[in-house]
Amino acid sequence: MSTEPPVLTDDFCHRLAESLLEADYDGDGVVAALGEQAHAALGRNEPEPARRATRGGSPVETLVRLFLVGDAEPAAAVQRALGRLDLAEVAATGLLRLDGDRVRAGLDLRPHADEAGSWWVLADLDSDQLGGPVGADHVLGIGHASLSLARATTRRPVGTVLDLGTGCGVQALHASRHAGAITATDLSSRALALASATFRLNGLKVQTLRGSWFEPVEGRAFDQVVCNPPFVVGPPRVDYVYRDSGLAGDDASALVVRGVPKVLNPGGVGQFLASWLHKRGEDWGDRVTSWLPDEGVDAWFVQRDVAEPALYVGTWLRDAGIDPRSAEGAAKASAWLDWFDDNDVTGIGFGFVTLRATGSDTEVACEDLRHAYDDPLGEEAGRWLDRVAWLRAHAAPEALLSAVFTTAPTVVLERVAEPGPEGWRELVRRLHRTDGPGWQQETDELVTSLLAGCQGVLPLGELLALLAAGQGLPADAVVRAAVPVVADLVAHGMLLPAELV
């Protein structure tokens, strides 16, 4: 059921921000009130430790219980916590729900922090907070997907950023750290109302435009585009605007991949989440590559997960607050799984896409990155673009052979051997990068010897000549074998050209 967009005026947002600051309801204040353990438990949807940590009745404790735990709080305590704001005025905006002498949250209002500071983000209450299914025009708050995209986005200074399908506005908040001007679009008027309130609450000037996909910015170009699109894969329908595009299968992701390069300035970068079908007899990399033009783009597809259809359907039903065991859940699941069967879908891939607008032939890398890693992917994405540009400039063999390389200090060599009648027999020799996404690559004695010699002194060609002589091998054969291996090691940040060290 649709609801009217909330109306939060500039004056109200200004006074609300002042009240929240006075109450210490920001990133640091919430952690200080809860303590590390209760804060971590709340992040796991375990509210009881947070309740126990906030029994003192201070303003920040009241607001934590109201907005983060989701409890009904005494009206007098909420009035004290919100300072000069009148409860009836706040309730009229939809932020609070009054019930006699108790108050509940009407919207989700929570601090969101990065290493440079803290913001507040407004969104709709989720199904757990509501105690039932969300509405069709539900505006999703800060979730795992939005956080992962924020961590996967490159933070280099740019003039202009487009946040395509802004939702609650969290990607635009992060963009404010490195962009001169930000434009945020969305099809949902409710999402734009909440995002606009979020921007004003944080004192940010962001242009907001309503419309479908790229229509609101037709004829414009940007230095960076970020997008957390409605990428849920399945039949062409719209149950919830935050996740369903109305397009069949992975057509929404394909639309974004095809459309982003058209709104990028030369050298501009697009970064977004996407899903793609795994179909019987088809390689997922070939599928996503087919969405790209033959020239003008560097593209990096990173697959973080692959879900089998039944698990995928159950996860998204529960996300919307629908019990898969209910009659409604069973009907939706059956139709969804029928669509997957009819289209030979064996799995659904999910991950990140990084695109850069170039004037050269399209370069594509499709990689599985399903293991755990700690470093944010955004920094690695920026360095990947740097390395691809370097490789393009040194595509001629003579240019590569004249370059000086250093083995990355975070690369280690692993050897696995088994005992035998004549001693240890090596089974695997593998290179590991211990930083970034933790790339691994099996290798051989010649390559490990080459990397040991790459110390930023001798050009590659001289190192290969020495290796060939030492192994008694033809120099030209060693060069032919080494060039593609070296290019791959550079692309994965294991071997660094002197210019990129």
Number of residues in the chain: 501
Distance, in Å, from the CA atom of 183 to the CA atom of 336, rounded to the nearest integer, reads: 35
Q: At what angle do helices 189-201 and 10-22 cross, to 10 degrees?
A: 50
Q: Which of 379, 390, 385 is nearest to 357 (CA)?
A: 385
Degrees, nearest 5: CA angle 441-381-271: 130
Question: Which are the contacts of 167, defined by CB distance < 8 A and separation ≥ 6?
Answer: 123, 139, 140, 146, 186, 191, 195, 228, 242
Degrees, nearest 5: CA angle 411-383-348: 90
Question: Which are the contacts of 213, defined by CB distance < 8 A and separation ≥ 6?
Answer: 164, 187, 255, 256, 259
Q: Which of 249, 259, 254 is nearest to 288 (CA)?
A: 254
E-state strands within 124-195 = 158-164, 179-186
Distance, in Å, from the CA atom of 349 to the CA atom of 345, rounded to the nearest integer, reads: 11
Do strands 179-186 and 73-74 pair parallel, antiparallel, or not at all (unpaired)? Answer: unpaired
Query: What's phi and psi for 214, nearest 5 deg?
Result: -95, 0
CB 98 within 8 A of CB 75: yes
Give percent of the chain above pLDDT 90.
84
Structure tokens at 428: 């695997």
Q: How many CA atoms lie within 13 A of 274 on its CB side?
A: 29
The second-level CATH assignment, the architecture, of 394-500 is Alpha-Beta Complex (3.90)
Q: Give me the pLDDT at residue 133, please.
A: 83
pLDDT at 114 over 70: yes
420 DSSP β-pair partners? 423
Q: Give me the pLDDT at residue 1, please.
A: 42
Distance, in Å, from the CA atom of 163 to the CA atom of 156, rounded to the nearest integer, reads: 16
Backbone region of residue 169 per phi and psi (left: phi > 0; alpha: psi in -120 to 50; beta: other values): left
Structure tokens at 159: 């003039």
For residue range 195-252, what is the model confidence (pLDDT) as tens digits?
999 999 999 999 999 999 999 999 999 999 999 998 889 888 888 888 788 888 999 9
E-state strands within 58-116 = 73-74, 96-99, 102-105, 108-114
pLDDT at 3 over 70: no
Query: What's phi and psi for 456, nearest 5 deg?
Result: 75, 25
Q: How many CB atoms lie within 10 A of CB 13?
A: 21
Q: Give me the pLDDT at residue 126, please.
A: 86
Structure tokens at 84: 């000069």
Q: Give me the pLDDT at residue 2, please.
A: 47
pLDDT at 320 over 90: no
C-alpha distance from residue 12 to each of 83, 283, 307 (Å):
13, 53, 44
Outline which parts of the chain fall under CATH 3.90.930.
394-500
The radius of gyration computed from the CA coordinates of the chain, to the nearest angstrom, equals 26
Average pLDDT, stretch 377-392? Answer: 95
Outline which parts of the chain fall under CATH 3.40.50.150.
120-392
Q: Give me the pLDDT at residue 216, please.
A: 97
Give percent of the chain above pLDDT 70.
99
pTM: 0.91
Which residue type does 93 have? T
Average pLDDT, stretch 479-494? Answer: 95
For residue range 184-195, what is the model confidence (pLDDT) as tens digits?
999 999 999 999
For residue range 331-382, what is the model confidence (pLDDT) as tens digits?
999 999 999 999 999 999 999 999 999 989 999 999 999 988 888 899 999 9
Q: H or E stretch including 136?
A: none
Degrees, nearest 5: CA angle 315-316-322: 95
Backbone region of residue 456 per phi and psi (left: phi > 0; alpha: psi in -120 to 50; beta: other values): left
C-alpha distance from residue 385 to each of 138, 291, 492 (Å):
36, 20, 11
Query: What's phi and psi for 369, nearest 5 deg?
Result: -135, 65
Q: In a 10 Å sphere around its CB, with 0-12 CB exposed, 13-18 middle and 19+ buried, how is residue 483 labelled?
A: middle
Q: Give the least confident one: 44-58, 125-139, 363-377, 381-395.
A: 125-139
Distance, in Å, from the CA atom of 13 to the CA atom of 15, rounded to the nearest integer, reads: 6
- Collapsing DSSP to helix, strand or coil, 315 comes out as helix
179 DSSP β-pair partners? 158
Do strands 295-307 and 411-420 pair parallel, antiparallel, or not at all (unpaired)? Answer: unpaired
Q: In a 10 Å sphere around its CB, with 0-12 CB exposed, 13-18 middle and 19+ buried, how is residue 44 labelled?
A: exposed
DSSP state of 112: E
Mean of the per-residue pLDDT values for the chain? 93
Q: Give me the pLDDT at residue 65, please.
A: 96
pLDDT at 129 over 90: no
Q: H or E stretch including 291?
A: none
Q: Give me the pLDDT at residue 344, please.
A: 95
Number of helical (H) and strand (E) elements in the chain, helices listed first? 20, 19
- pLDDT band at residue 322 using 50, 70 and 90 as cut-offs: confident
- pLDDT band at residue 257 using 50, 70 and 90 as cut-offs: very high
Distance from CA of residue 331 to its chain's centroid?
31
Task: Domain 120-392: give its CATH code.
Answer: 3.40.50.150
Q: H or E stretch including 208?
A: strand 207-210
Q: How many CB atoms lie within 10 A of CB 10?
A: 11
